[in-house]
């Protein structure tokens, strides 16, 4: 126990006081803060950046009420009226980026107006849809005037049926962005600290430090001390992100912490979410760290480390993309299955908890499977670690490693 505590304290202290740890923590905090305030900065920079559009209207449906058109899109576009004869010249100006686009309105079949929006690239599809809706409103108004209906009849025809959406569960718009950010932090932390266990073992072996350590500390104590020490360091860094992010948010309260229609709502982080965050980070880290430690113990040179750790990193990356896919359907069967599978459950289950109301039995089942898997893989990794840390030369083949572990009683 004394040897285990010495390894744990040394690992934690050396990790948290290293320059790379401090620099990485500061960089991630700056990224988190930047994601909060970047939308506001972009909005302020583009507030006066209106785009020029030329209106070529053969029907008069829009040009007869040009002031109304300008007022409707005053924050987005500058309008200039042109004739059909200017089309070739205007298209040339689009290619030269002198104007954003041309809205051409012609009389189509049965006298119905047909509009075409010509542009080099569509930078905001919502504005194009708004132009279409405005044209439709102007046409409907013109038709109603021709029919000489009373104001009461016009209001009846243009009235809309009431429609509202009541969400009984968590809002997709309010939880998606926060879930994505926390999922990224969780994924990067598990990958970074899990792989650092393998890197630390490989470094100690390549410098023959392992031979000295083995004489004073049992291999199992060394394995547990390193993994738990790095896990606590990761948890320290993890909470630095959360505290800094919540602190900046509460202090400055950025009004536009959004991405499109998605909102970064810090109020969704409560005590229970933090508890689940800690649980799934630690379980995910220990699950992958034990496997990484076993892999790291069988290499003799740091150059060989990527060969044995790359498959595990690819598995974790695949699980990350699966989680991204399931974020739009967190109650689907795929999401439920991968929130139980131990390789993906640390990030998939935590993301589901953020985005939907997960039944308690599924959360407990996921935690139980992870703990059982850590026990199984931890026992296997300890056996591999015990015989692998003193293996030098070429990496042992799988069958040779199985025989060594089997014969080591």
DSSP 3-state of 77: strand
Q: Which residues lie closer than 8 Å to 184 by C-beta, 6 or more apart?
A: none
**Which candidate, 374, 307, 303, 380, places its Cα nearest to that of 345?**
374
Question: Is there a contact between 384 and 405 (Cβ–Cβ < 8 Å)?
Answer: yes
pLDDT in tens, 83-141: 888 888 888 888 888 888 888 888 766 667 888 888 887 766 677 888 888 888 888 88
How confident is the model at residue 366, as a pLDDT? Answer: 93
**Which residues contact residue 9 at a Cβ distance below 8 angstroms, ignoring those fewer than 6 apart?**
229
- Summary mean pLDDT of the chain: 76
Q: Select from 290, 275, 293 the least CA-distant residue to 350.
A: 275
pLDDT for residue 28 is more than 70: yes
pTM > 0.75: yes or no: no
What the block records as the tokens of 192 is 């970074």
Return the minimum-mean-pLDDT range out of 14-28, 111-125, 342-356: 111-125
Please compute the mean of the pLDDT values over residues 297-321 and round it to a whole number. 78
C-alpha–C-alpha distance, residues 296 and 200, integer Å: 8
Structure tokens at 391: 């293996």
368 confidence band (pLDDT: 50, 70, 90): very high
Rounded distance between C-alpha atoms, residue 59 and residue 112, angstroms: 10
Q: Which domains does the chain show, CATH number per domain?
A: 2-37+172-407 (no CATH), 48-158 (3.40.190)
Instruction: Supply the pLDDT for residue 119.
Output: 86
Mean pLDDT along residues 287-303: 75
């Amino acid at each position: 126990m004394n040897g285990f505590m010495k390894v744990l304290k040394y690992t934690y202290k050396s990790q948290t006081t290293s320059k790379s740890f401090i620099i990485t923590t500061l960089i991630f905090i700056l990224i988190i803060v930047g994601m909060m305030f970047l939308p506001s900065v972009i909005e302020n920079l583009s507030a006066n950046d209106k785009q020029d559009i030329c209106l070529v209207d053969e029907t008069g449906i829009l040009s007869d009420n040009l002031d109304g058109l300008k007022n409707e899109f005053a924050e987005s576009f500058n309008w200039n009226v042109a004739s059909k004869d200017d089309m070739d010249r205007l298209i040339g100006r689009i290619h030269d980026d002198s104007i954003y686009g041309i809205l051409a309105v012609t009389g189509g079949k049965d006298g119905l107006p047909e509009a075409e929006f010509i542009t080099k690239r569509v930078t905001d599809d919502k504005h194009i849809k708004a132009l279409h809706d405005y044209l439709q409103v102007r046409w409907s108004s013109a038709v109603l005037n021709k029919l000489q209906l009373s104001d009461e009849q016009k209001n009846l025809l243009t009235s809309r049926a009431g429609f509202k959406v009541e969400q009984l569960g968590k809002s997709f718009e309010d939880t998606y962005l926060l879930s994505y950010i926390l999922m990224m932090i969780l994924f990067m932390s598990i990958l970074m600290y899990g792989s650092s266990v393998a890197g630390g073992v490989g470094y100690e072996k390549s410098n023959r430090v392992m031979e000295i350590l083995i004489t004073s500390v049992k291999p199992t104590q060394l394995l547990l001390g390193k993994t738990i020490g790095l896990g606590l360091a990761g948890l320290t860094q993890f909470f630095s992100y959360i505290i800094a992010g919540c602190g900046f948010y509460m202090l400055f309260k950025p009004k536009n912490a959004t991405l499109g229609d998605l909102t970064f709502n810090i109020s969704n982080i409560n005590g229970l979410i933090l508890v689940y965050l800690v649980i799934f980070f630690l379980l995910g880290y220990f699950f992958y760290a034990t496997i990484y430690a076993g892999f790291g113990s069988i290499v003799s040179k740091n150059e060989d480390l990527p060969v044995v750790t790359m498959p595990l990193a690819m598995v974790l990356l695949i699980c990350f993309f699966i989680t991204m896919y399931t974020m739009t359907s967190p109650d689907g069967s795929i999401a439920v299955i991968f929130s139980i599978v131990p390789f993906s459950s640390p990030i998939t289950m935590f993301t589901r908890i953020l985005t939907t109301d997960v039944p308690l039995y599924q959360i407990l089942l996921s935690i139980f499977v992870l703990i059982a898997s850590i026990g199984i893989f931890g026992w296997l990794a300890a056996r591999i670690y015990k015989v692998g840390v003193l293996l030098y030369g070429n990496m042992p083949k799988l069958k040779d490693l199985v025989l060594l572990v089997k014969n080591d009683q």
